[in-house]
Structure formats: C-alpha cells, structure tokens
Structure 1
Amino acid sequence: MGTRTRTRRTTVAAVAAVAALALAPGCTLSQTGEGDGKDAGGGRVLAVKIDNVGPARPQTGLDAADVVYAEQVEAGLSRLMAVYAGKLPPVIGPVRSARETDLELLRQFDDPALVFSGAQSKLLPLISAAPLRQLSPGKAPGNAYFRGSDKPAPHNLFVRPKALDADTGDGGLGSTGFSFGPRPKGGTPERERTVRFPAARFTFTWAAEQKRWLVSMDGTRARTADGRTLGASTVVVQYVKVRESRFHDRGGNNTPFTETVGSGKARVLRDGRAYEARWERPLPQDGTEFTTADKGEPLPFAKGQVWVVYAKAA
C-alpha cells in the first residue's frame, strides 16, 4: 500500500482541484466524479455531537451533513457525529456531550471544530489538549446555542452553526482517506442491511428510484424535524474493536471506546450492491482507506452523504 502520510502532503494542484469541484444536488460533500480525492486539503470541518435516543428524534440538520458517524455509547445506545465541510444548515441538533472516541476520530482532520454540550470532568483535560477547536456553550458566542420547546431536556439543545464562525471549507474532508468515483465491478446485490448495537440498531434500505439507502433507527424510518427522509449514497459498516474505557456515566455505566486507528474488515454499500472491504488507518492523523477485500484496490464511494457505522468486530 506504500506510505500512509498522503493525507498530510497536500499539493497546490490538489487544493485547486478541490476548489473547482461541482457538488451534487443537495449535497455539500466535496467529491470528484472519479478518482480518489484523498490528498485534497484547504478546508476545515465542523463536527457536531448529535443525540440519538428516542426523545431526541427527529433530529435537525442531519440531512445536510457530509459524513455521519454512528458510535456506541453507554448502555449499548448510539450517538452520532455529523461532519459538515461545506454548506451549513441554519440549525443542528439536539447537541449532546463528547466522548473519548471523538477525539481520536477527529485527529484525521486539520483543525476541526467540535460542537458538543459538555463532557464529564475527567475527560475535559483531554478535550483541551486535543488538536481541535472547542465550541461548547461556554466557549461559543452567546446566540449560538438555544433550548427548543418541542423536546424535553436534555434533548432540546440546538446550535446555530453560522453563529459559530466555524470557517468550514469544501476541502475539509480531503483528509478522511475516502475515495469517490464510479461504481466498481463486483459486489453482490443487497436491498437491506441492519447493524445492531446492544441497545440500538440501524437499518439501511436501498431505494433505487432515489439512488440512496434510506435510514431507519431502532425500527423506525429516520426523518428530520422538517419531514425529510434521511438517506445515504454510501453506507460503510466498519468492524472495529470496541473496548471499555476509564470513563463512566453518572449511572456507573462504562463508556465504550471505539478504536478507529488500525485495520480490519468493512462492508461498503453503494448503488444497491454490497462490497466486502478492508479498512486501514495506521496513525491517528491519517485518514481511513478502504480497499477491496480480494485485490486490495481502492474502493470508491458514491457521491453524496456517507454514513459510517462502527460495528463491533467479532
């Protein structure tokens, strides 16, 4: 595979290419029609921790994210991290607290901004030491956060991202390691895929007429607060090690840590087909590269929103 420091060797040509990209309708992801786009740079991302339990749904602004990461938290539940690199929606939320997993995940981005409601006291020093910009309520402009009236606390905290002056840029996703391009050969037809956490589940159903995978969470079709159906052009089920961390919630439940650095198996869904894949991220500052399981060739994603679900490896 060769050296893995490509994500930090941005060339002037790559930056120019990213700046010239045309976006797919309704999509803010900076993606080329073909090729990999891995070395793109010159932008920042805004990452928002989003609540994902029943009382928090439907969420707001999630359909505008370029990438949505789904991770396991305490008691086997799930939480989302939505990453925005281009156009920002007016409101995003509900915003919830950060986890140790987020800090390692965000190391792949250059100077990312993290929107979160807070964190347990023992984690705060790690957040302060991480190479990111903290945009929690105490460190954001006074008009950036507000409490909504249609959900109970603590599931009612929202953010106005444009008030944060986050300075996002289309090149911000260039360090993810993702590649985009035409559908590769092979794969097997797939209509539906379910990923289960101990107390949560995600189901992705292929909608050929929409050319995307419709998202269901815990058995219910996912929609935004304004009624838009959530759907992904590409879904990545990434099998990782999920272990106990040194942190616990107030109820004494251990906070799981998802290891996103390393290598392992993955299943990539695009265009109604499933591809067995390998993932590799040697260092925290590297992006995650996905290759075909049989030949080790780059596995391109379809243009549009990407969902990455971290499933526990067997």
Structure 2
Amino acid sequence: MVRRLIILLLALALFSVACGGGDDEVIDSGDLVVVDEPDDELESDAAASETTTSTTVTVPAGPPTTRGPAPVVVVEPLTGLGSITVFSGEPVYRGVLGQIDPDRNIVSPAALPPDVPAAGISPLTGLPIDPLTADRPAMVVKIDNTEKGRPQEALALADVVFVEQIEGGFTRLVVVFHSNTPAVIGPIRSGRSSDIGIFGSFNNPIFVWSGANRVQGAIIRRQDFVDLGAGTRTEFYRADDRPGTYDLMADPAVLWGIAEANEDGGIPPAHFEFQNDEVALPNTAIPVDHADISYPSVTSSWTWDGAARGWRRAQSGTEHVDAKGNPVIAANVLVAEVEQVWTGSVDAIGTRVYEGKFVGSGVGYVFVDGHMIEVTWTKPSIHSVATWTTADGIPVALRPGQTWIELAPIGGLTAG
C-alpha cells in the first residue's frame, strides 16, 4: 500500500512539472511579446484599450542585457494616424507625439532601463549630488541657439542638453537642470511639439518656456509636466544687454521654489548607464576625434579634447562658449537620427514647423572617451527612458558628467 502511494505521488509530481509553473514562473528572453494591431482610425484611450481583445501577432522580445532580459510589454505599432483639429479655424495638427498616449509602447524595449543610482549619485550625470537637490524635479528649459541668442547662460551647469531641429533648419536647445542651481537661465524661447518626446521621460518635470502658437501650445499642455512657463507665471524678466525676443530670462531657484510650495513634479529616473570598474568600452568602439552633425541650416561639431576628457562643441565653425566665456565641453555626445514630421503648422513667414519624432527606435551613435560606437536608440513610449544599445543588445556605458543629445536628421552625421 505504501509502495502504491509513493508511485502515485511520483506520477502526480511528474504531471505537475510537465504542465508548467504557477504565478511565480520566470519569463526568459525567449518568450514572445504580444502585439495588438490598432484600427486604422485615430482611437481614443478607451477605444485603444479595447483592442487588446483583437487579433494579435507576435514578435521576439528584445535581446538580453547585462542586467537580464529586456521587459516584455504589449506593443501597439503606429498605424492610421492622420490629423486632428485642435481649434476650429486653426491649422490641423498632423504630428505624431501629440496623437498617442504617452504610455503606449510603439516598439518593444531593447534593454532594461538604467538601474536606480546609489544614494548621493545623480540619476542624470552619475556624479555626486547634494541630497537636498536629489529629490527635486528636473527643470527642462527651452533655450535659444541662434547667433542672436548666444552665448547662453549656465550651459556648463546643465545635466543633459538636447539639440532639436526647428523651422528653417535651425536648432534650439532643450536644457535639463537637476544637480545644480544656476543664478540665471536663458534666453528662454518657445515650445514645439518635438519637446514632448524629450521631457516625457523625466517624470513630470518643470517645463520652462516662453509659450507657443495656439495649436502647438494646446498639444504640449496635454502632456504631464509642471507648467512654469512665461504664459502662466510672472517671475521672468528681460535682460537689458540682449536683443529683443532673445532676452527672456529667469531665476531657476524661484521656479523650483514655486514647484516645491505646490508639491509639484517628480524625481527624474536614471537616464544612462555609467562606467565603473566592471564596464569598459565595447569592442565595436572606433577611435575618432571629430564629428559633424549637419542640420539644414547649421552644423554642430564636436572635437575630442584628451586633456579635458571631453568633447568641445562648435556651431557652424564657431566655438560654442557660454555667457561666462567658458567653452562648451561635454563628457558624452549621443546622436539619435530622428524622422522629421510636418506638424501642419507654419511660422510667421510661412516656413513649415516640423516635429522630431523621438519615440520608437532608430540609428544612433555614442561618442565617449575619444571613441564612437554605433548603436540603436530605443524609446518605446513617450514616457520611456531611451536606451542606447550595441548590436548584441548591451547598453553603452557613459563617462559620468554632462551629456549632449543631438536629435539629428537621418544621415546627417560624419565622423573621423
């Protein structure tokens, strides 16, 4: 009898194993991601949620990283987006970023997002940070980058700086402050729907801007951020020593104080992998000492400075310096080739206003320690942090310090 009972128990155990695990079953990198095919018509949030019961297809999960397999998420590729009327009598909005839910994954992640940094380490630079400032929101500021707007204030104190293309093929800076509190920031300029793909990953940041045209402003204000722009606040002033339009300035300490008093904003998540004793450059890194990013009307140039352990910036052949005369030197330069989508708007002289689609994935390049690494940038959703991975799916580790990100035209990079 005992022998029969033992045999029965063994049989049941083998059957249980064959049938698979329970709720705690581990998913490995070979599992599949479910991809819902959305309707061709622009959907509301409610309608989009209903598509999860429709016919599905599957795609492989992203490659493994040094910290485990990429997350498995539901992916809704972009299809059927057209145009939307924001205001009667105004141009329709034809862009992408303002038409999708900010948490909608349009591609599968390529890697896990960066780890939460250790206490006392900045999530944006990898450098030590004052504990009193670590818990405050990031401040994302629109800064002019034309000849009349340069030199800009406080660029050396920024954690991250994005370069985005605007109308006419010129560029504007989207400057992210978190670790430091400059005395003044500016010249502050207007927003574009391109900004949605930039500030979306900083977890409800403070957004400082001079305003926007009616349609662009409405599209931007639908997003998650603390609006401390000139259109909502009076804590801005005009600098007497700067030309009109390029003279709007602010004291960021005052703006952070407003957010703190209102208990607004969230702590930014880690945005990059940083080097340590266990992480070296990948074997695909190529030694280079110069890179040019060609926009339609200007060129961003970066030259490796071994003594400074960073990349010196020039714009259209002129060295880029800040308002104190200090050269702009970045520890890291990232280049993301992004599609430019016409938004449906034009500026005052009839030039089309385009949107840089910094969501999804594309060709990218990382410049660090005198080397260039070709990567894939992947930003599954507007709220996602972008990852920068090599062909084998490993995120590239950056040097701790300031990082510039050029949202470049496709094919706009030359390096050597």
Asked if TM exceeds 0.5, the reply is: yes
Task: Establish whether residue 225 from structure 1 lines up as the match of residue 323 from structure 2.
Answer: yes
Match of 2:273 in 1: 179
How far apart, in 1, do the equivalents of 2:203 and 2:210 lie? 22
How far apart, in 1, do the equivalents of 2:72 and 2:241 lie? 47
Aligned match of 2:308 in 210, 214, 224? 210
1:174 maps to a residue whose letter is P
Q: How far is the alpha carbon of 1:179 from its aligned partner?
A: 1.2
Q: How far is the alpha carbon of 1:20 from its aligned partner?
A: 2.5
What TM-score do the two structures reach when normalised by structure 1?
0.86
> 1:19-72, CA deviations, whole angstroms, 9 ceiling, x for partnerless residues?
322x6xxxx944169xxxxxxx96521000000000111110111110000010
The Cα RMSD (Å) is: 2.3
Q: How far is the alpha carbon of 1:191 from its aligned partner?
A: 0.6
The answer (yes or no) to whether the contact 2:205–2:268 under 8 Å persists in 1 is no
Rg larger in 1 or in 2?
Answer: 2
Give 1 or 2: higher strand fraction: 1
Match of 2:228 in 1: 135
Q: How far is the alpha carbon of 1:284 from its aligned partner?
A: 1.2
How far apart, in 2, do the equivalents of 1:18 and 1:149 lie? 43
The answer (yes or no) to whether the contact 2:159–2:176 under 8 Å persists in 1 is yes
Task: Establish whether residue 304 from structure 1 lines up as the match of residue 401 from structure 2.
Answer: yes
Q: How far is the alpha carbon of 1:266 from its aligned partner?
A: 0.7
How far apart, in 2, do the equivalents of 1:132 and 1:58 lie? 27
Task: Establish whether residue 63 from structure 1 lines up as the match of residue 63 from structure 2.
Answer: no
2:158 maps to a residue whose letter is A
How far apart, in 2, do the equivalents of 1:4 and 1:97 lie? 37
The answer (yes or no) to whether the contact 2:125–2:402 under 8 Å persists in 1 is no
Aligned match of 1:145 in 236, 240, 247? 236
2:408 maps to a residue whose letter is A
Match of 2:39 in 1: none
How far apart, in 2, do the equivalents of 1:296 and 1:242 lie? 26
Number of residue pairs the alignment of both structures matches: 289
How far apart, in 2, do the equivalents of 1:131 and 1:94 lie? 24
Aligned match of 1:76 in 162, 165, 169? 169
Percentage of matched positions with identical amino acids: 30
Q: How far is the alpha carbon of 1:175 from its aligned partner?
A: 4.7
The answer (yes or no) to whether the contact 1:85–1:172 under 8 Å persists in 2 is no
How far apart, in 2, do the equivalents of 1:100 and 1:94 lie? 19
Match of 2:126 in 1: 31
Change (3 A) 1:4 1:203: farther
Match of 1:236 in 2: 334
1:263 maps to a residue whose letter is S
Q: Secondary structure at the match of 1:158?
A: strand
1:99 maps to a residue whose letter is R
Match of 1:201 in 2: 299
How far apart, in 2, do the equivalents of 1:129 and 1:185 lie? 40
How far apart, in 2, do the equivalents of 1:301 and 1:46 lie? 22
Q: Secondary structure at the match of 1:97?
A: coil
Q: Secondary structure at the match of 1:55?
A: coil
How far apart, in 1, do the equivalents of 2:213 and 2:118 lie? 38
How far apart, in 2, do the equivalents of 1:133 and 1:246 lie? 26
Match of 2:83 in 1: none
What TM-score do the two structures reach when normalised by structure 2?
0.65
Match of 1:253 in 2: 351
Q: How far is the alpha carbon of 1:174 from its aligned partner?
A: 2.0
> 1:250-297, CA deviations, whole angstroms, 9 ceiling, x for partnerless residues?
11111111111111111110001111111111111111001113x221
Q: How far is the alpha carbon of 1:173 from its aligned partner?
A: 4.0
How far apart, in 2, do the equivalents of 1:234 and 1:248 lie? 34
Change (3 A) 1:30 1:237: closer
The answer (yes or no) to whether the contact 2:191–2:217 under 8 Å persists in 1 is no
The answer (yes or no) to whether the contact 2:141–2:176 under 8 Å persists in 1 is yes
Unaligned runs of 5+ in 2: 1-61, 63-69, 74-102, 104-114, 129-133, 412-416
Aligned match of 2:145 in 52, 56, 63? 52
The answer (yes or no) to whether the contact 1:265–1:277 under 8 Å persists in 2 is yes
